[in-house]
Each structure stands twice: as C-alpha cells, then as structure tokens.
Amino acid sequence: MKQLYILFAMCVFSANAFAGGENFTAGARAASMGDASITLSDVFSTTTNQAGLGFMNEIAFGIYSDRKFISAKTNNFNAAVAVPFSPKIGTFGLSVNYYGYSLYNETKVGLAYARKFGEKFSMGIQFDYMRFFIFENGQKNIFTLEAGFQYRPWKVLTFGAHIYNPIPYKMDKVFNERLPTIVKLGLGYEPSPKVLLAIEYQQNIYHKPQFKGGIEYRPIKYLNLRAGVQTTPFSVSFGLGTAVKGFRLDAGTSYHPVLGFTPQLSLMYGFVPKKKNIEKPTQP
C-alpha cells in the first residue's frame, strides 16, 4: 500500500508526466526548518534564493542528498559551488541537481549570479537548463530562469522574495502541460545570537498556497538544533548541524503523516582565499 502512496507522491511532485520542474531545494539545514529558506545565505542559495549568494564572503562547496519517503525511486542529489569576487563584481554560483531513478528522472543545471547593492540589499538571478526523462516517452529539454532579492534593514532581520520560471512554459502542446511558476516571500529574524526564526509563503500557480516556518537554536558553540513545519501537504521536520574549521555537516528528516519520513544530509566547506602580498621594489 505504501508503494502506491509513494507512486502517487511522485506524480504529485512531478505533476503528471513531463510537467515536472517543482524546483527542488537543497541543504539539510533548510529542510530541517520546514524549508523556510529564502532568507538564508550559503552555497545552497543556488537552489533557494540566489540573492543569498550576494552576502557570502567565502568560496564554498556543498553536496546534498535526500530520499523522499525512503524510496529508491525518489532519490534527490545536489552539488553546488559559490565563488564571491569583489563587492563590485559579485558572486557566481553553479548547481547540479538530479531527482528520480532510471525510468523517470529530472536533471537541473543552474548558473547563478548575485550582487550586493550597499550593505543591506542583494539581488540574484539564475539561468536553468532542465532535462526530463520518461522511459518509453523520451526526454524533454527546457531553459528557464529564476530570480530573487534579500533586504536586511538590520543585522537581525532579513526580508526575502523569489520567483521561479516567471513565464509558465508549455511543455506539452497536446495535454497543455506547463512548467509551474512559483513565487515565495519570507522573513528571517534573530531575536538573539543563538536563535533564528524563519517564516515563508509559497504560491505555485497550479497548487494551493503553502506556509512554512522554522527555528534554529544553538545551545553550545558547535551544535545547532532545528525544527520546522509546512502546510499543503502538511509535514513536520527536525534536525541538527555542526560546523568545525570551515566544514559544516547538517542532518535532518521530515515526516508526512501518510507517506512517512524523508531523511536529508548535506556537507559544506568554505574558505576565504588568502590575499597575496605584492612586494614593492626597493629603492636604489
């Protein structure tokens, strides 16, 4: 029976045959907080809100994996890199995502760019290539884009907005299937250095509105505890993470009352490149 539910879930996530493109996000930190992620800033902003890349000051690499409802047919993998240059140039990012299995899968490659305007505002944009494969039906290749902004009027408060696929792309003329447009609005607030609260509203034009909320708490220096909830469909999530010497390891899981658990795991590494000292020629 559970396999039937999982098959149904794949149809929901993929929205009937070629009408997939639900824009899966990456990062166990965000997933543990109910996926309330558009105000966060790390290498996985390449999948959540590209504007977050503009606030980064270190080169970062990240890998992520989840298995939706613990089914081998719903594997999701992501690898991302972000490289910030000077404030005038901005940050470039690259992400690759794979979802599915041999008979049905989606591949997404995104090239992102973000830049700060002043100290409080950042904008980002990403160009996406997407490949959808269905056994016996072949494949479909699509190009689209996504963009967003983050605004930090104070260090403890962040507003975020993001849009994915602004123009609904018709994927199949016979069945009138379209790649969805998804709009997100969110807020992040840090009432103390140890606590982060995040809320988010998401509207997929083909689904009901979705609300997300999450909390992150750091009781000690090397430990972060997280929990979250989202609606439509309803699920709860929780997880933890640690960061040591440039590495950050995050793990979590979300739970759907009918379909069960979805475990998540991500690993990131970031570093600030050392500036080379240029010696001035000695005066004769």
> Does residue 279 sit within a domain?
no
> Does residue 280 sit within a domain?
no
Burial annotation 18-30 (CB, 10 A radius, 16+ → b, else e):
bbbbbbbbbbbbb
Q: Using one digit for the tens of pLDDT, what is the confidence trace for 40-60?
A: 999 999 999 999 999 999 999
Domains in the chain, number: 1
> Does residue 277 sit within a domain?
no
Burial class (CB in 10 A: 0-12, 13-18, 19+), 230: buried
> Does residue 282 sit within a domain?
no
Note down the domain range covering 92: 2-271
Give the whole-number percent of the chain exceeding pLDDT 90: 77
| Spatial contact of 151 and 92, defined as CB atoms under 8 Å apart | no
> Does residue 283 sit within a domain?
no
| Residue 8 confidence (pLDDT) | 47
Of 14-23, 32-41, 273-282, which gets the smallest average pLDDT?
A: 14-23
Q: How far apart are CA 31 and CA 107, in angstroms?
A: 20
> Does residue 278 sit within a domain?
no
pLDDT at residue 283 tops 50? no
pLDDT at residue 232 tops 80? yes
SS3 assignment, position 229: strand
Q: Using one digit for the tens of pLDDT, what is the confidence trace for 83-142?
A: 999 889 999 999 999 999 999 999 999 999 999 999 999 999 999 999 999 888 888 899
> Does residue 281 sit within a domain?
no
> Does residue 162 sit within a domain?
yes
CATH number at residue 201: 2.40.160.60
